[in-house]
C-alpha cells in the first residue's frame, strides 16, 4: 500500500468543491490528509456502487419532476440511503484492513484517533 501525503493541506473544501466539514471551521485540521493508492479491483468495486447510487438519485429527481406519489419517492430515497450505507461499509472495511493497519504497524498512533473521530461523525 502506498500513501501519498499532500504537500498542501486541503482547506475548507475538497478538490470537488464540497465542504466536508459541514461548515464547522473547528474541524478543518481534524483528519490527516493522505491519499491512498487503490487497486483496480478496489476502484472498480467502489465506483460501481457509486454509479448505482448516482442512477438511483437521477431516478428520484425524475420522480419529483414527474410528480410521483410521495411514498413512492420515499421508498426510493430509502433504497439510495441503504446503498450509501453499503458503500460506507465497503470503504470502511478497506480503510481498516489497509490504511489503519499499515499506520499502526508503522507506529503512527494518530490513525486510531483519526478512525475514532471518523466513526463518531459517521454515527451522528
> Domain segments of the chain: what residues?
38-122
Confidence of residue 123 (pLDDT cuts 50, 70, 90): confident
pTM: 0.67
CATH of domain 38-122: 1.20.58.1000
Confidence of residue 31 (pLDDT cuts 50, 70, 90): low
Residue 84 to residues 17, 21, 65, 115, Cα–Cα distance (Å): 20, 18, 23, 19
3-state secondary structure of 4: strand
Q: Look at residue 71 and tell me whether its pLDDT is greater than 50.
A: yes
Amino acid at each position: 500500500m502506498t500513501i501519498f501525503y499532500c504537500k498542501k493541506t486541503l482547506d475548507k473544501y475538497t478538490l470537488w468543491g464540497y465542504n466536508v466539514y459541514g461548515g464547522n471551521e473547528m474541524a478543518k485540521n481534524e483528519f490527516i490528509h493522505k491519499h491512498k493508492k487503490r487497486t483496480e479491483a478496489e476502484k472498480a468495486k467502489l465506483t460501481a456502487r457509486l454509479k448505482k447510487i448516482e442512477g438511483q438519485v437521477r431516478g428520484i429527481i425524475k420522480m419529483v419532476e414527474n410528480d410521483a406519489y410521495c411514498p413512492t419517492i420515499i421508498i426510493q430515497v430509502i433504497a439510495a440511503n441503504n446503498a450509501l450505507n453499503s458503500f460506507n461499509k465497503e470503504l470502511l472495511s478497506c480503510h481498516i484492513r489497509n490504511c489503519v493497519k499499515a499506520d499502526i504497524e508503522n507506529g503512527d498512533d494518530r490513525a486510531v484517533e483519526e478512525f475514532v473521530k471518523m466513526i463518531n461523525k459517521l454515527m451522528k
